Structure formats: structure tokens, C-alpha cells
Amino acid sequence: MSYPPTQPSYPNPYGQQQPQPPQQQGNNLWLIGVTVIVVLAVIMAVVLLIVQRSNDSNQGGGGDPTTAPESSAEETTEGGDDPTDGGDEPVTDGEATLAESDCELYDTSGFEELIGDEVDPDESSTSASTSGDTANISCSFYTSNYDTLRLYVDVTDDSDFNIGWVEDMQDSYAEDDTYTVEDYTTYGDTGYTHESTSYDYTTIGINLAISNIEVEATTMMEESEYDRDAAIAVLDGMIAQVETYYAAHVL
């Protein structure tokens, strides 16, 4: 019995990948290599752009963070030891220098006599902030019993604004029922007194405008020791000193 010859088998063109010629495989590897190089180049360009923008930002917004910016003549300063701003520079010739050392000018003996105690230098505090020809200086003097004498001087560059400011402050105090407010006319262009009592301590202050200079003199003492007329006399004396020492800064 004979069988017909076996037919040769043919690869299924749909189920099996035809092998590629060597030349085709080489072309594909070359294309892959070029693609990788292009991607790496794009990544490097993006990184360089980010670094460049970061450097530009540092230069435009304060420079090298390790280098302090130069201060200008108009820069605000807080006390300090820099002789250019008079932070701790000694006061001479009885004239204010718009610095914390201005507090050394004041004679507080009237306050000490009123209280019957001496000012404690270790408890007293001072502060100053200056900018060009303007400044504000605060001097707080305390006794061992924490009776207080405070002087605040604000040298501005606008008389009309300063006077209006003090008048507005008087209106604000007058609207508060916890204060007794009266006009003050001994010194300055406009001013007022404000008085209040809290926790057995009475505080009385005088706020006034001497042209472009605002002055506030305040004392706080135990209610049992409080003498309004005597306290006003002490504050008048302190304001008279301010008027003398800051005369050169009045517009």
C-alpha cells in the first residue's frame, strides 16, 4: 500500500515573526541610540534652564544669600553699636541725637521725689528707631516698686499730620469710658491728658504735639500714693526737657 508523498510544511505568516535581515536589525539599533541621545540632551537642557533661572532669581532678589545687603542711609535701625546711627553714642551739649542715648539726658529727680524712691537703672529700658531725620525714642524708668515714668518722642517730617494725629488720639481716648480726658495747653500746639485706674495703680499721661514732634509723658503709681497735681507737675517738667533737647529738630 502506498501513501502520497508528504507535503512540505510552510510557516504561518500570521502566527510567527519572520526573522529580519541583519541590515534591518542594525538600522533599528541605530535609531534607538539616536532617540536615547536626543532624550538625554533635552533633559540636560531643562536642567541647565532651571539652574540659570535659579541664579537669576538670587541675583535679582538680594544676591548671594551668604552676603548681607548693603544698608542705605535711610535704613531703619534699632539702637545698636553702629556709630553712624548713634546707637550708643554719648550725648553731648544737651542736644538730642535721635538715639537711645537721648534717654541719658533726662533728669528724673522730680519723679523720684514724688514717689519717694530712686529709679533703678537695671530695671529701666530704652529703645530707638531712626530713619534719616525722623525717629522715635522710648525711655522707661522704673523704681524698685515698679512705679513708672515713661517718655516717648516721635520726630516726624510733617507738622500738620502730627498735630492732626494727636487730635485724633484725643478723640479716641475720650470715647473710652475707662479714661478721664482733658485738654492740655501748657506746652505744644495741641495736647490732652488721659487718666485711668486699674488694679490699684493710677496712670496719668500727657500727649501733645510740638509742631512735627509728638511727645507722650506718662507716669504710673500706686493709687494710695497718687497726687494728680504733683504728677502733672512732674510730667510738665519732663516735657520741658524734651522741648529743650529736641529744639533743633522742630520744623
Rounded Cα distance between 14 and 26, Å, is 24
Rounded Cα–Cα distance for residues 67 and 76 (Å): 19
As a residue count, the chain comes to 251
The distance in angstroms from the start CA to the end CA of the chain is 137
User: pLDDT tens digits, residue range 189-240?
Assistant: 999 999 999 988 999 999 999 999 999 999 999 888 889 999 999 999 999 9
Q: What does the alpha-carbon distance between residue 138 and residue 103 come to, in Å, rounded to a whole number?
A: 8
Q: Cα–Cα distance between 112 and 247 in angstroms, integer? A: 26
C-beta separation of 211 from 251 below 8 A: yes
Three-state DSSP class for 180?
Answer: strand
Kindly state the cell numbers that stand for 61.
532678589
CATH of domain 80-249: 3.40.1000
Q: CB atoms < 10 A from the CB of 86, how many?
A: 22
Is the pTM value of this prediction over 0.75?
no
Beta bridge partner(s), residue 190: 209
- Give the C-alpha separation, 95 to 18, whole Å: 103
Task: Specify the DSSP element, H or E, that contains 222.
Answer: strand 213-222
10-69, pLDDT tens digit by residue?
444 444 445 555 555 556 666 777 677 877 776 776 666 565 554 444 444 444 433 333
pLDDT digits (tens, 9 = 90+) for 67-119: 333 333 333 334 333 433 333 343 334 678 889 999 999 999 999 999 999 99
> Domain boundaries in the chain?
27-56, 80-249
Q: Report H helices in 62-186.
A: 109-115, 159-174
